[in-house]
Homo-oligomer: A and B are copies of this chain.
Amino acid sequence: MKRRDFIKKTGLAAAAAATAAAGLAGCGKKEEEKPMEAPAVITRKTYEWKMVTTWPPNLPVLQTGAVRFAERVEAATGGQIKIKVFAGGELVPPLGVFDAVSEGTVEVGSGASYYWAGKAPAAQWFAAVPFGFNAQGINAWFYSGGGLELWEEVYAPFNVVPRPQGNTGVQMGGWFRKEMNTIDDFKGLKMRIPGLGGKVVSKAGGTVVLLPGGEIFTSLERGVIDATEWVGPMHDLRMGFYKAAKYYYYPGWHEPGTTLEVMFNKKVYDGLPSELRAILDAVAAETNVWSLSEFEAGNGAALQELITEHNVNLVRFPEELLAKLRELAEETLEEEAAKDAMSTKVHTAFKKFKEQVGIWGSVSENAYYNVIADKYKLKA
């Protein structure tokens, strides 16, 4: 950088340093170092932030991904932004994250947008939509289809700036104590399943039960609930569900690619120099692709263990049952979308982009997966 540029571009403290250096020379003292010929000197404000999450401590990829985000931000800013991460309940309740970021109690939060549907119904479309996008589809919507701009619009009234920061990939359909042959098998079924998926199960005649993570296993084992979904093999294995339910159904029609989010208080985010905003965005995207990779690798290993060591019975939901669930999901989405103008807008954009990528997915990823499909050779 030329000196003239340097003086133009740097701030007050640098100018002061320059003045100081000139003063030093004027005193006739020796210049041991030559600050004026040194590389550009600039001001650097530092930031110490708090980040609260909705996840239990150490929950793989979800909580560890939030921690990783903080670490990578600190690394990429050379310590200019330091983020202290608090798991759910440590500083604010797990579902108090959005409010804390919105009010500016903390600078950063991490969760999944469907948790905030009570405040902003349109938020649901940015986390997981039954029979909606998988990870590749929703990323395409976010980064190349206007999805992220819509998400920003939904959060703006709350002074929150969202970024995709992870994706679980296609989840599993859940653990069931009995076989699911037709849609009627949902009648009276007590299932732990939150969000839009839960609304679909209700529509099918099921009873949706909401339980904290720590109570699910016991409830399933004792028959207090008949079924539960959780995440995927990596997390389900840790929860020990295979000891409490015989059938492990797929695919996870209700959460085909759940987006994890990082969100910033808008005033904090907007007040940053542009290079720090660019770093936060880049590290969020980096954590996004990393987390999907962790799920892909970890679920692969855990599924092998579930099959070979625990003899788990992997079952695909019958075609007709899935078709009925899909109809009910479409009804549910139309009802939710009708609730306010923003939801209508988001739902319309979502459907339009889904049509754009749908046929391409059929001749690309879908056709290719069908060719390389592993026919569960570990069971044979």
- Complex Cα–Cα for A275 and B46 (A): 15
For A274, the chain B residues whose CB sits under 8 A away are 75, 78
Within 8 A of B (CB), among A246-286: 250-253, 256, 273-275, 278-279, 281-283, 285-286
Decide if A59 is an interface residue (CB 8 Å cutoff). no
Q: A75-B275, A288-B289, A300-B360 are in contact. Are A40 and B32 (CB under 8 A)?
A: no
Residues of B close to A301: CB separation below 8 A: 356
Whether A53 sits at the interface, judged by CB under 8 Å, is: no
Does A313 reach chain B (CB closer than 8 Å)? no
Q: Which residues of B contact A44 (CB under 8 A)?
A: 39-42
What residues on B are CB-neighbors of A1 within 8 Å? Answer: 46
Contact A293 B360 (CB under 8 A): no
Expressed in whole angstroms, the minimum distance between the Cβ of A214 and any Cβ of chain B is 26
Q: Pick the contact of A359: B13, B286, B378 (CB < 8 A).
A: B378
Chain B residues with CB under 8 Å of A46's CB are 1, 39-40
**Per-position contact with B for A282-315: 1 when CB-CB < 8 Å, else 0?**
1101101110111011111101100100000010
Asked whether A139 lies within 8 Å of B362 as measured between CB atoms, the reply is no
Q: How far is the CB of A304 from chain B (nearest CB, A)?
A: 7
| Residues A76 and B304 in contact, CB atoms below 8 Å apart | no
Q: How far is the CA of A204 from the CA of B20 in the complex (A)?
A: 76
CA distance A253 to B358 in the complex (A): 20
Interface stretch, picked from A83-91, A184-192, A215-223, A363-371, is A363-371
Q: Is the CB of A169 within 8 A of B364?
A: yes
| Cα–Cα, bound, A23→B42 (Å) | 20
User: Given A40-B44, A251-B363, A301-B356, does the pair A78, B273 have CB atoms closer than 8 Å?
Assistant: yes
Mostly, the A contact residues are helix
A21 in the interface (beta carbon within 8 A):
yes
Beta-carbon contact of A360 and B77 below 8 Å: no
- CA distance in complex: A368, B144 (Å): 22
The residues of B that contact A293 with a CB separation of less than 8 Å are 139-140, 142-145
Q: Which of A16, A20, A275, A293 has the most CB of B within 10 A?
A: A20
Q: Is the CB of B253 within 8 A of A368?
A: yes
Chain B residue with the shortest CB-CB distance to A286: B285
Taking a contact as CB atoms closer than 8 A, the residue among B27, B38, B251, B375 that contacts A16 in the complex is B38
Which 4 pairs of residues, A with B, have the shortest CB-CB distance? A13-B38, A78-B275, A16-B33, A366-B369
Residues of A within 8 A of B (CB): 1, 9, 12-17, 19-21, 23-24, 26-27, 29, 31-35, 38-46, 72, 75-79, 131, 134-137, 139-145, 169-172, 232-233, 250-253, 256, 273-275, 278-279, 281-283, 285-286, 288-290, 292-294, 296-301, 303-304, 307, 314, 316, 322, 326, 353, 356-378
